[in-house]
Amino acid sequence: MPQGLPLYPESASTVAGQVDALYWTWVAIAAFFSLLIAGAIFTFFIRYQRRRVGEVGHEDEGNLALEIVWSAIPLVIALAMFGWGAKVFFTQSRPPADATEYFATGKQWMWKIQHPTGKREINNLHVPVGRPIKLTMISEDVIHSFYVPAFRVKADVLPGRYTTIWFEATKPGEYHLFCAEYCGTEHSLMGGTVTVMEQDEYEAWLAQEVVPGGGEAVSGERLFAALACDTCHRTGARARGPDLTGVYGSRVELADGSTVVADEGYLRESILTPTAKVVRGFQPLMPTFQGQVTEDQLLQLIQHIKSLRSEGEEIPGARAEGAAAATGGGAP
Protein backbone atom coordinates (compact mmCIF):
# COMPACT_ATOMS: atom_id res chain seq x y z
CA MET A 1 0.00 0.00 0.00
CA PRO A 2 1.27 3.48 -0.85
CA GLN A 3 2.28 4.55 2.65
CA GLY A 4 4.56 7.24 1.24
CA LEU A 5 1.80 9.24 -0.47
CA PRO A 6 1.37 12.75 0.93
CA LEU A 7 -1.69 12.99 3.24
CA TYR A 8 -2.15 9.22 3.12
CA PRO A 9 -2.81 8.03 6.68
CA GLU A 10 -0.56 5.45 8.26
CA SER A 11 -2.09 2.03 8.71
CA ALA A 12 -1.86 1.00 12.33
CA SER A 13 -4.71 -1.40 13.08
CA THR A 14 -5.67 -4.95 12.18
CA VAL A 15 -8.46 -3.82 9.83
CA ALA A 16 -6.48 -1.03 8.13
CA GLY A 17 -4.90 -3.42 5.59
CA GLN A 18 -8.31 -4.89 4.69
CA VAL A 19 -9.86 -1.44 4.23
CA ASP A 20 -6.93 -0.30 2.08
CA ALA A 21 -7.00 -3.42 -0.10
CA LEU A 22 -10.71 -2.87 -0.69
CA TYR A 23 -10.25 0.84 -1.36
CA TRP A 24 -7.39 0.46 -3.86
CA THR A 25 -9.11 -2.39 -5.69
CA TRP A 26 -12.17 -0.19 -6.14
CA VAL A 27 -10.04 2.71 -7.31
CA ALA A 28 -8.38 0.36 -9.83
CA ILE A 29 -11.75 -0.94 -11.09
CA ALA A 30 -13.13 2.61 -11.42
CA ALA A 31 -9.95 3.80 -13.19
CA PHE A 32 -9.96 0.80 -15.56
CA PHE A 33 -13.58 1.34 -16.66
CA SER A 34 -13.23 5.13 -16.85
CA LEU A 35 -10.23 4.79 -19.16
CA LEU A 36 -11.93 2.05 -21.18
CA ILE A 37 -15.08 4.15 -21.71
CA ALA A 38 -13.17 7.39 -22.40
CA GLY A 39 -10.91 5.51 -24.83
CA ALA A 40 -13.89 3.96 -26.62
CA ILE A 41 -15.63 7.34 -26.93
CA PHE A 42 -12.50 8.91 -28.36
CA THR A 43 -11.78 6.02 -30.75
CA PHE A 44 -15.34 5.86 -32.07
CA PHE A 45 -15.43 9.63 -32.39
CA ILE A 46 -12.40 9.55 -34.74
CA ARG A 47 -13.25 6.34 -36.53
CA TYR A 48 -16.92 6.91 -37.26
CA GLN A 49 -16.98 10.61 -37.93
CA ARG A 50 -18.78 11.82 -41.09
CA ARG A 51 -16.21 12.08 -43.87
CA ARG A 52 -18.29 13.39 -46.77
CA VAL A 53 -21.27 15.73 -46.96
CA GLY A 54 -24.44 13.68 -47.45
CA GLU A 55 -22.89 10.47 -46.09
CA VAL A 56 -25.55 8.20 -44.56
CA GLY A 57 -24.77 6.23 -41.41
CA HIS A 58 -25.07 2.45 -41.18
CA GLU A 59 -28.00 1.37 -39.05
CA ASP A 60 -27.39 -1.40 -36.54
CA GLU A 61 -30.12 -3.74 -35.29
CA GLY A 62 -28.37 -4.43 -31.98
CA ASN A 63 -26.53 -7.47 -30.68
CA LEU A 64 -28.14 -9.60 -27.97
CA ALA A 65 -24.98 -11.53 -27.08
CA LEU A 66 -23.02 -8.30 -26.62
CA GLU A 67 -25.77 -6.80 -24.46
CA ILE A 68 -25.88 -9.86 -22.20
CA VAL A 69 -22.10 -9.76 -21.83
CA TRP A 70 -21.95 -6.08 -20.93
CA SER A 71 -24.75 -6.51 -18.39
CA ALA A 72 -23.48 -9.73 -16.82
CA ILE A 73 -19.85 -8.65 -16.33
CA PRO A 74 -20.69 -5.46 -14.35
CA LEU A 75 -23.30 -7.40 -12.35
CA VAL A 76 -20.72 -9.98 -11.26
CA ILE A 77 -18.18 -7.26 -10.45
CA ALA A 78 -20.72 -5.20 -8.48
CA LEU A 79 -21.89 -8.24 -6.47
CA ALA A 80 -18.29 -9.22 -5.70
CA MET A 81 -17.56 -5.65 -4.55
CA PHE A 82 -20.65 -5.73 -2.35
CA GLY A 83 -19.78 -9.11 -0.83
CA TRP A 84 -16.21 -8.10 -0.09
CA GLY A 85 -17.30 -4.72 1.31
CA ALA A 86 -19.91 -6.38 3.55
CA LYS A 87 -17.29 -8.80 4.90
CA VAL A 88 -14.92 -5.96 5.85
CA PHE A 89 -17.84 -3.96 7.28
CA PHE A 90 -18.85 -6.82 9.58
CA THR A 91 -15.24 -7.36 10.70
CA GLN A 92 -15.05 -3.65 11.47
CA SER A 93 -18.35 -3.38 13.31
CA ARG A 94 -18.31 -6.51 15.51
CA PRO A 95 -15.93 -6.28 18.44
CA PRO A 96 -14.25 -9.57 19.41
CA ALA A 97 -15.65 -11.14 22.60
CA ASP A 98 -12.39 -10.58 24.49
CA ALA A 99 -12.21 -6.84 23.71
CA THR A 100 -11.49 -4.51 26.63
CA GLU A 101 -14.24 -1.95 27.08
CA TYR A 102 -13.48 1.78 27.25
CA PHE A 103 -15.99 4.62 27.29
CA ALA A 104 -16.05 7.85 25.33
CA THR A 105 -18.37 10.81 25.80
CA GLY A 106 -18.49 13.47 23.13
CA LYS A 107 -19.53 17.01 23.96
CA GLN A 108 -19.07 20.40 22.35
CA TRP A 109 -16.09 20.34 21.85
CA MET A 110 -14.12 17.60 23.50
CA TRP A 111 -13.76 13.86 23.89
CA LYS A 112 -13.90 12.49 27.41
CA ILE A 113 -12.42 9.02 27.79
CA GLN A 114 -12.81 6.57 30.68
CA HIS A 115 -10.51 3.57 31.03
CA PRO A 116 -11.69 0.23 32.43
CA THR A 117 -9.66 1.00 35.57
CA GLY A 118 -11.55 4.25 36.07
CA LYS A 119 -8.78 6.51 34.84
CA ARG A 120 -10.07 9.43 32.80
CA GLU A 121 -8.56 11.69 30.20
CA ILE A 122 -9.71 14.38 27.80
CA ASN A 123 -8.90 14.50 24.08
CA ASN A 124 -6.40 11.70 24.62
CA LEU A 125 -6.77 7.97 24.49
CA HIS A 126 -3.94 5.75 25.69
CA VAL A 127 -4.23 2.10 24.70
CA PRO A 128 -1.97 -0.94 24.74
CA VAL A 129 -0.73 -2.35 21.41
CA GLY A 130 -2.04 -5.70 20.14
CA ARG A 131 -5.18 -5.73 22.29
CA PRO A 132 -8.72 -5.44 20.92
CA ILE A 133 -10.29 -2.27 22.35
CA LYS A 134 -14.03 -1.64 22.32
CA LEU A 135 -15.29 1.89 22.82
CA THR A 136 -18.84 2.45 24.01
CA MET A 137 -19.74 6.02 23.09
CA ILE A 138 -22.46 8.57 23.69
CA SER A 139 -22.90 12.31 23.21
CA GLU A 140 -23.99 14.85 25.79
CA ASP A 141 -25.34 17.25 23.19
CA VAL A 142 -25.28 17.01 19.39
CA ILE A 143 -24.09 14.34 16.97
CA HIS A 144 -20.33 13.89 16.84
CA SER A 145 -18.28 11.23 15.08
CA PHE A 146 -15.25 9.40 16.46
CA TYR A 147 -12.66 8.98 13.74
CA VAL A 148 -9.11 7.61 13.83
CA PRO A 149 -7.81 7.56 10.23
CA ALA A 150 -4.76 5.40 11.03
CA PHE A 151 -7.08 2.68 12.37
CA ARG A 152 -9.63 3.14 9.53
CA VAL A 153 -12.48 3.31 12.04
CA LYS A 154 -15.22 5.90 12.33
CA ALA A 155 -18.61 5.88 14.04
CA ASP A 156 -21.20 8.51 14.81
CA VAL A 157 -21.60 9.41 18.48
CA LEU A 158 -25.25 10.15 19.19
CA PRO A 159 -27.17 11.80 22.01
CA GLY A 160 -29.40 9.30 23.81
CA ARG A 161 -28.01 6.12 22.32
CA TYR A 162 -24.84 4.08 22.76
CA THR A 163 -22.78 3.28 19.71
CA THR A 164 -19.61 1.21 19.65
CA ILE A 165 -16.40 1.05 17.73
CA TRP A 166 -13.50 -1.36 18.07
CA PHE A 167 -9.91 -1.61 16.91
CA GLU A 168 -6.68 -3.40 17.64
CA ALA A 169 -3.62 -1.20 17.21
CA THR A 170 -0.68 -2.93 15.54
CA LYS A 171 2.15 -0.52 16.29
CA PRO A 172 3.04 1.91 19.05
CA GLY A 173 2.87 5.60 18.17
CA GLU A 174 0.68 8.67 18.25
CA TYR A 175 -2.28 8.92 15.92
CA HIS A 176 -4.77 11.66 15.15
CA LEU A 177 -8.26 11.52 16.60
CA PHE A 178 -10.88 13.64 14.86
CA CYS A 179 -14.53 14.56 15.17
CA ALA A 180 -15.93 13.76 11.75
CA GLU A 181 -19.40 15.26 12.07
CA TYR A 182 -19.95 19.01 11.94
CA CYS A 183 -21.04 19.89 15.49
CA GLY A 184 -20.69 23.66 15.88
CA THR A 185 -18.18 26.47 15.71
CA GLU A 186 -15.26 24.56 17.23
CA HIS A 187 -15.89 21.30 15.39
CA SER A 188 -12.53 21.60 13.63
CA LEU A 189 -10.75 21.79 17.00
CA MET A 190 -12.55 18.78 18.46
CA GLY A 191 -9.82 16.22 18.20
CA GLY A 192 -6.92 14.73 20.00
CA THR A 193 -4.40 11.95 20.05
CA VAL A 194 -4.55 8.21 20.39
CA THR A 195 -1.32 7.01 21.99
CA VAL A 196 -0.55 3.35 21.42
CA MET A 197 1.91 1.92 23.94
CA GLU A 198 3.57 -1.40 24.69
CA GLN A 199 1.62 -3.30 27.38
CA ASP A 200 4.16 -2.63 30.16
CA GLU A 201 4.44 1.07 29.25
CA TYR A 202 0.67 1.32 29.26
CA GLU A 203 0.49 -0.24 32.70
CA ALA A 204 3.15 2.16 33.93
CA TRP A 205 1.17 5.05 32.46
CA LEU A 206 -2.03 3.81 34.11
CA ALA A 207 -0.25 3.62 37.46
CA GLN A 208 1.17 7.15 37.15
CA GLU A 209 -1.59 9.01 38.89
CA VAL A 210 -3.86 7.62 41.50
CA VAL A 211 -7.43 8.05 40.43
CA PRO A 212 -9.45 9.64 43.22
CA GLY A 213 -12.00 7.16 44.47
CA GLY A 214 -10.43 4.22 42.64
CA GLY A 215 -11.86 2.58 39.55
CA GLU A 216 -14.95 3.58 37.66
CA ALA A 217 -17.01 0.76 39.09
CA VAL A 218 -16.15 2.09 42.53
CA SER A 219 -17.33 5.64 41.76
CA GLY A 220 -20.38 4.07 40.13
CA GLU A 221 -20.96 2.21 43.39
CA ARG A 222 -20.78 5.47 45.35
CA LEU A 223 -23.19 7.09 42.96
CA PHE A 224 -25.50 4.09 43.26
CA ALA A 225 -25.57 4.63 47.03
CA ALA A 226 -25.72 8.45 46.80
CA LEU A 227 -28.80 8.29 44.56
CA ALA A 228 -30.31 5.76 46.98
CA CYS A 229 -30.71 3.16 44.23
CA ASP A 230 -29.83 0.49 46.76
CA THR A 231 -32.82 1.28 48.99
CA CYS A 232 -35.16 -0.30 46.42
CA HIS A 233 -32.90 -2.51 44.29
CA ARG A 234 -32.15 -5.18 46.84
CA THR A 235 -33.12 -8.63 47.90
CA GLY A 236 -35.65 -9.39 50.60
CA ALA A 237 -39.07 -8.13 51.62
CA ARG A 238 -38.22 -4.44 51.31
CA ALA A 239 -37.24 -4.74 47.66
CA ARG A 240 -39.40 -2.41 45.62
CA GLY A 241 -37.32 -2.87 42.48
CA PRO A 242 -35.58 -5.90 40.97
CA ASP A 243 -32.30 -7.01 42.49
CA LEU A 244 -29.67 -6.07 39.94
CA THR A 245 -27.13 -8.82 40.65
CA GLY A 246 -26.21 -10.49 37.37
CA VAL A 247 -28.83 -8.50 35.45
CA TYR A 248 -26.38 -7.25 32.81
CA GLY A 249 -26.51 -9.39 29.69
CA SER A 250 -29.47 -11.41 30.99
CA ARG A 251 -32.96 -11.66 29.54
CA VAL A 252 -35.44 -9.65 31.59
CA GLU A 253 -39.15 -10.44 31.67
CA LEU A 254 -41.36 -7.36 31.47
CA ALA A 255 -44.82 -6.58 32.85
CA ASP A 256 -46.39 -6.84 29.38
CA GLY A 257 -45.05 -10.38 28.95
CA SER A 258 -42.27 -9.50 26.50
CA THR A 259 -38.58 -9.92 27.26
CA VAL A 260 -35.58 -7.72 26.69
CA VAL A 261 -31.82 -8.26 26.90
CA ALA A 262 -30.35 -6.04 29.62
CA ASP A 263 -27.64 -4.34 27.59
CA GLU A 264 -26.20 -0.84 28.10
CA GLY A 265 -29.04 0.78 26.16
CA TYR A 266 -31.70 -0.93 28.31
CA LEU A 267 -29.98 0.01 31.57
CA ARG A 268 -29.64 3.63 30.45
CA GLU A 269 -33.31 3.79 29.41
CA SER A 270 -34.40 2.24 32.72
CA ILE A 271 -32.54 4.93 34.66
CA LEU A 272 -33.84 7.83 32.58
CA THR A 273 -37.31 6.54 31.69
CA PRO A 274 -38.13 3.89 34.32
CA THR A 275 -41.72 3.46 33.16
CA ALA A 276 -40.73 2.51 29.60
CA LYS A 277 -39.94 -1.13 30.43
CA VAL A 278 -41.27 -2.22 33.83
CA VAL A 279 -39.98 -5.56 35.07
CA ARG A 280 -42.64 -8.18 35.66
CA GLY A 281 -43.78 -8.39 39.27
CA PHE A 282 -42.88 -4.78 40.13
CA GLN A 283 -44.83 -1.54 40.29
CA PRO A 284 -43.75 1.46 38.19
CA LEU A 285 -42.60 3.35 41.30
CA MET A 286 -39.14 4.43 40.25
CA PRO A 287 -38.67 8.17 39.64
CA THR A 288 -36.85 9.35 36.56
CA PHE A 289 -33.22 10.41 36.85
CA GLN A 290 -33.41 12.49 33.69
CA GLY A 291 -31.47 15.72 34.22
CA GLN A 292 -29.99 14.49 37.51
CA VAL A 293 -27.16 12.39 36.17
CA THR A 294 -24.70 13.26 33.40
CA GLU A 295 -23.80 10.88 30.59
CA ASP A 296 -20.49 10.20 32.36
CA GLN A 297 -22.33 9.29 35.55
CA LEU A 298 -24.74 7.08 33.61
CA LEU A 299 -21.76 5.19 32.23
CA GLN A 300 -20.40 4.85 35.77
CA LEU A 301 -23.73 3.52 37.05
CA ILE A 302 -23.92 1.06 34.18
CA GLN A 303 -20.35 -0.05 34.84
CA HIS A 304 -21.32 -0.61 38.50
CA ILE A 305 -24.43 -2.60 37.56
CA LYS A 306 -22.24 -4.72 35.25
CA SER A 307 -19.92 -5.45 38.15
CA LEU A 308 -22.79 -6.77 40.31
CA ARG A 309 -22.65 -10.51 40.04
CA SER A 310 -22.71 -13.50 42.32
CA GLU A 311 -19.41 -15.10 43.35
CA GLY A 312 -17.71 -17.04 40.56
CA GLU A 313 -20.21 -15.92 37.96
CA GLU A 314 -18.87 -15.49 34.47
CA ILE A 315 -18.94 -12.04 32.86
CA PRO A 316 -21.87 -12.21 30.48
CA GLY A 317 -20.38 -9.68 28.04
CA ALA A 318 -18.79 -12.43 25.95
CA ARG A 319 -22.07 -14.35 25.79
CA ALA A 320 -24.08 -11.30 24.81
CA GLU A 321 -21.58 -10.40 22.08
CA GLY A 322 -21.64 -13.93 20.70
CA ALA A 323 -25.44 -13.98 20.62
CA ALA A 324 -25.54 -10.59 18.91
CA ALA A 325 -23.11 -11.79 16.26
CA ALA A 326 -25.08 -15.00 15.67
CA THR A 327 -28.36 -13.17 15.09
CA GLY A 328 -26.76 -10.64 12.78
CA GLY A 329 -26.98 -7.90 15.40
CA GLY A 330 -24.07 -5.92 16.70
CA ALA A 331 -23.77 -3.88 13.53
CA PRO A 332 -24.43 -0.17 13.95
Query: In the complex, which residues of this chain contact ligand CUA (CB under 6 A)?
Result: 106, 109, 144, 179, 181-183, 187, 190
Cβ closest to ligand CUA, residue 9 vs residue 191: 191
Among residues 175, 126, 136, 176, the alpha carbon closest in space to that of 157 is found at 136
Pick the closer one to ligand CUA by CB: 39 or 332. Answer: 332
| Shortest distance (Å) from residue 147 CB to ligand CUA | 10
The number of helix segments (H) and strand segments (E) in the chain equals 7, 12
Nearest to 235 by CA among 332, 324, 175, 308: 308
| Integer angstrom CA distances of residue 173 from 4, 133, 318, 329 | 17, 16, 29, 33
We find the least distance from the C-beta atom of residue 126 to ligand CUA, in angstroms, to be 21
**Residue 112 or 233 having the CB closest to ligand CUA:** 112
Nearest-approach distance from CB 111 to ligand CUA, in angstroms? 8
For ligand CUA, the closer of residues 186 and 253 by Cβ is: 186
Q: How far is the CB of 205 from ligand CUA (least distance, A)?
A: 26
Q: How far is the CB of 106 from ligand CUA (least distance, A)?
A: 6
d(C-alpha 300, C-alpha 221), whole Å: 8
Q: Which is nearer to ligand CUA, 42 or 182 (CB)?
A: 182
Q: How far is the CB of 189 from ligand CUA (least distance, A)?
A: 9
Report the DSSP pairing between strands 120-122 and 144-148.
unpaired
Q: Give the orientation angle of helix 64-93 with respect to helix 16-47, to 10 degrees.
A: 160
Strand 100-107 to strand 132-139: parallel, antiparallel, or no bridges (unpaired)? parallel
Residue 106 or 149 with smaller CB distance to ligand CUA = 106
For 53-75, give one letter per residue: b (16+ CB within 10 A) or e.
eeeeeeeeeeeeeeeeeeeeeee
